[in-house]
Amino acid sequence: MQAVMKPILLANAVEAAATSLLLILSPSLFAGLVLGAQLPEAGETLGRLGGMGLLSFALTCWPTAAPAEPTPIIRAFVFYHLMASVFLAYLGIGGRFVGVLLWPAFMIHATFEVLLLRHWLVAKSE
């Protein structure tokens, strides 16, 4: 199980780290690409703060050479991807905030959600 999960967890951590760095460096670029909207100054500040939190999450979940039990990390990523995919779908269906990367971002989160849930449920049944 751990040999299969390591690349999946690494891909999740890389996705979270890349998103966080973009949020920290340019929240308006992120908002434009994903939401098709610009941010006011307060939104820029909150975007950077959220990016810092997401970067901390990514670093916490980054796989190590000798990882501990992966269940807490999987549980955290399952929650993150579930909430992100539901929220992005809500935004896309509403049609108000839709940038060119909204649906691709939704697909990335939904794919990771399915992969992680599959492995988590298989591990629980063993």
pLDDT tens figures, 69-78? 677 888 888 8
Q: How far is CA 44 from the centre of its chain?
A: 19
Rg (CA), the chain: 15
Q: In angstroms, rounded to a whole number, what is the distance separating the alpha carbons of residues 65 and 3?
A: 11
State the average pLDDT over residues 3-9.
81
Question: How many CB atoms within 10 Å of residue 74?
Answer: 20
Q: Number of C-alpha atoms within 13 angstroms, CB side, residue 38? A: 2
Host domain of residue 28: 2-125
What pLDDT shows up at residue 67? 58
Domain count, the chain: 1
pLDDT above 70: residue 66:
no
Q: What's the burial of 93, exposed, middle or buried (CB within 10 Å: 0-12/13-18/19+)? A: exposed
Lowest mean pLDDT among 19-23, 27-31, 50-54, 77-81: 77-81
Does pTM surpass 0.85? no
